[in-house]
Amino acid sequence: MKKLLLSLVAVSALAFGAQAQTEKGKILLGGGVGFNSTKIEGASKSDINFNILPSVGYFVSDNIAIGTGVGYDYDKQVSKGLLNQSFEVAPFGRYYVGLSDQFKFFGQLSVPMSFGNYKDVDDVTGDVGDKLGTSTKIGVQLAPGFAFYPTKRIGIEVSVDGLGYHNLALKDEATGVKSTSETFGLNASTVAPRLGVMFHF
């Protein structure tokens, strides 16, 4: 099976003021955007995932920020015959540790939640059919990362998914039957880290 994977994830943040970027009272504005496409052998269409998650945060004390992200996820899996579309909310807390004037380590604890519906997809043509049911996904994610500040106004951030737990509940539209699945794992791959650029004003 030939696979074509294109991944783009961008996270940006803005901190206002002339002092330290992670000082009490500062504001973080940012977001993430992602796109993946996988070519399926024998099918005329590819699996496609697109998501966008703008976020805002506030430093409640030096090096500690809390906030939330609100966004949308579109996940069309021709190979599994499903399309899932969902609204996402991801409250988070972030803690920074200064390693030097230009480098900071951070840990981010988030509670990603998504609420959506899933539909039937033809596994050959990729045509979308009837609504099959609704989906609810709630999780907890602990993600580490590093922030590099080449100047006072520009920062570059690299992070990985880290340790996570997710609970997925599906409700069948026709029968009303619910099914759940749980996943727990560590994803600290350095092959596909998330990269972000931050601008500080």
Instruction: Give pLDDT, residue 4.
Output: 35
Encode the chain (201 residues) as per-residue pLDDT tens digits.
333 333 323 333 333 333 357 889 888 877 777 888 887 676 667 788 888 888 888 989 999 999 999 999 999 888 788 888 999 999 999 999 988 888 999 999 999 999 999 888 877 677 788 888 999 999 999 999 898 888 776 778 888 878 999 999 989 888 888 999 999 988 765 555 677 766 655
The H or E element that residue 70 is part of is strand 64-77
Residue ranges of domains in the chain, CATH in brackets: 10-200 (2.40.160)
Overall pTM > 0.95: no
Handedness of CA 180, 136, 47, 145 (dihedral sign): negative
Written as six digits, the tokens of 83 are 């399309």
Instruction: Give pLDDT, residue 12.
Output: 35
Instruction: Give pLDDT, residue 43.
Output: 60
Q: Which of 198, 201, 150 lies closest to 30 in space, CA to CA?
A: 198
Instruction: Give pLDDT, residue 60.
Output: 95
Instruction: Give pLDDT, residue 137.
Output: 94
Written as six digits, the tokens of 183 are 């996943």
Question: Hey, how many other C-beta atoms are within 10 angstroms of the C-beta on 48?
Answer: 16
Rounded distance, CA 182 to CA 84, Å? 18
Rounded distance, CA 56 to CA 95, Å? 15
Q: Report which DSSP code applies to 40.
A: P
Instruction: Give pLDDT, residue 135.
Output: 92
Instruction: Give pLDDT, residue 21.
Output: 77
Instruction: Give pLDDT, residue 127.
Output: 79
**Angle in degrees, CA 186, 189, 191, rounded to 5:** 165
Instruction: Give pLDDT, residue 42.
Output: 64
